[in-house]
Amino acid sequence: MRKHFVFAVALLLVGATAAMGWWVKGHGTIAEAAAARLPEGMPQFFRAAGKQLAHLAGDPDRWKNPLAKHLRAAEAPDHFIDLENFEGNELPADRYKAAALLRKLKQQPERTGMLPYAIMEDFDRLTCAFYDLRAEPENEAVHMKCIVYAGNLAHFTGDAAMPLHTTRNYDGKPGPNGGMLQRGIHAKIDAFPEKNGLTAEEIGRGVEPAQIDDMWAHILKRVQESYKHIDRCYELDAAGAFDKPTAESRTFILERCRVGAQFTADTWYNAWLRSAKLGPHY
């Protein structure tokens, strides 16, 4: 009986791995790359926290542990968004208004995903933490929460750079008879940075954080840009370039990781800038 239980749990864990964004090490490498490219105007302890940020960037996938059922149910929709389900409507700048819109469109919010909202909410959390840092720059508890919130945020900005996190066809291409082709593509792409040794140094090349005036608009722009690369994922997979990496597939995935590192660095940097203008919490 015990053997059957262990086997069942193993199957659940395999399924959880296949549903992840970049594998945990891939998320960590992207976060570490972003940390290495932060400007000197940001706090030194934060810029030096690349290894801690790399570990924490994996936490949102750890929270999808199949045996943590309540947490998994709440957490899972934050990792993706099926843009097709909005049927061309503008995404409201509010998680619950988006859920109401989706229900009006006969869609299920938990199956459509809430990725842009997770990014914006964690951006706000980090901004609040940086506000406290400005008030108490030597407070170690504040240092810790800045790193924790930034690590969590890095997970979702990394997810947004993976094109298959923006579509309902996340693990296959629709076929002419209504079936799905190329099943398993999602896991192949997720695994690519880790399996093929992409490093923080090469991912970070060219990343320079920029000031963003409207973070919500910027988040939507990043997600929509990622959506444009879905067909390229299918093309490379059909050519076998994720099973046996080619120069083209490595260049493609490296560029997506760089987009993730740029997006991550932008959100961290702008949370710091915005914290200087934030009003009191209470």
Candidates 124, 102, 252; CA nearest to 189 is 252
Confidence of residue 20 (pLDDT cuts 50, 70, 90): low
* Tokens read off for 200: 């923080």
Domain extents in the chain: 2-275
Position 52 confidence tier, pLDDT thresholds 50, 70, 90: very high
- Give the residue-averaged pLDDT of 174-179: 83
What's the confidence (pLDDT) of residue 113? 98
At 208-227, the pLDDT tens digits run 999 999 999 999 999 999 99
Spell out the residues 6+ positions from residue 130 whose beta carbon is closer than 8 angstroms to its own.
146, 271, 272, 274, 275
Six-digit token string for 62:
């750890």
Global pTM reads: 0.91
- In the chain, where does DSSP find H-type helix? 2-18, 24-36, 44-47, 50-56, 59-62, 69-75, 95-104, 109-112, 115-135, 140-160, 185-195, 200-204, 215-227, 230-238, 247-275
Reported as a single tens digit per residue, the pLDDT across 226-244 is 999 999 999 999 999 999 9
DSSP 91: P
CATH of the domain spanning 2-275: 1.10.575.10
- The whole-number average pLDDT for the span 164-183 is 89
